[in-house]
Amino acid sequence: MTIPSRKVIDISHHNTVLSWDDVVAAGIVGVIHKATEGLTYQDPQYLPRCAPAMRAGLVWGAYHFAHGGESIQGQVDNFLSVVGVDAETAYCLDWESNPSGPTMTAAEAREFIELLEARIGEGRCIIYSGNTCKEALGSADNAFFGARRLWLAQYGTSPTCQASWDDWWLWQYSDGNVGPGPQGCPGVDGDVDTNSYAGSDDQLRAEWPGLVPAPEPVPETAEVDITISVKGNAIITINGQTWE
Amino acid at 132: T
Q: pLDDT tens, 49-63?
A: 999 999 999 999 999
Per the domain annotation, does 54 fall within a domain? Answer: yes
Backbone φ and ψ of 49, nearest 5°: -95, -20
Name the 3-class secondary structure at 242: strand
Q: pLDDT tens, 142-178?
A: 999 999 999 999 999 999 999 999 999 999 999 999 9
- CB contact at 8 A, 74 and 39: yes
pLDDT for 1? 87
Q: Is 168 left (phi over 0), alpha (psi -120 to 50) or beta?
A: beta
| CATH, residue 94 | 3.20.20.80
Per the domain annotation, does 232 fall within a domain? Answer: no
How far lies 188's CA from each of 164, 208, 210, in Å?
34, 22, 27
- CB contact at 8 A, 154 and 167: no
Per the domain annotation, does 88 fall within a domain? Answer: yes
Looking at the DSSP bridge assignments, the partners of residue 189 are 16
Kindly state the average pLDDT of the residues 213-229: 56
Give the domain extent around 121: 6-207
pTM above 0.85, yes or no: yes
pLDDT for 236? 53
Q: pLDDT tens, 94-138?
A: 999 999 999 999 999 999 999 999 999 999 999 999 999 999 999
Count the domains in the chain: 1
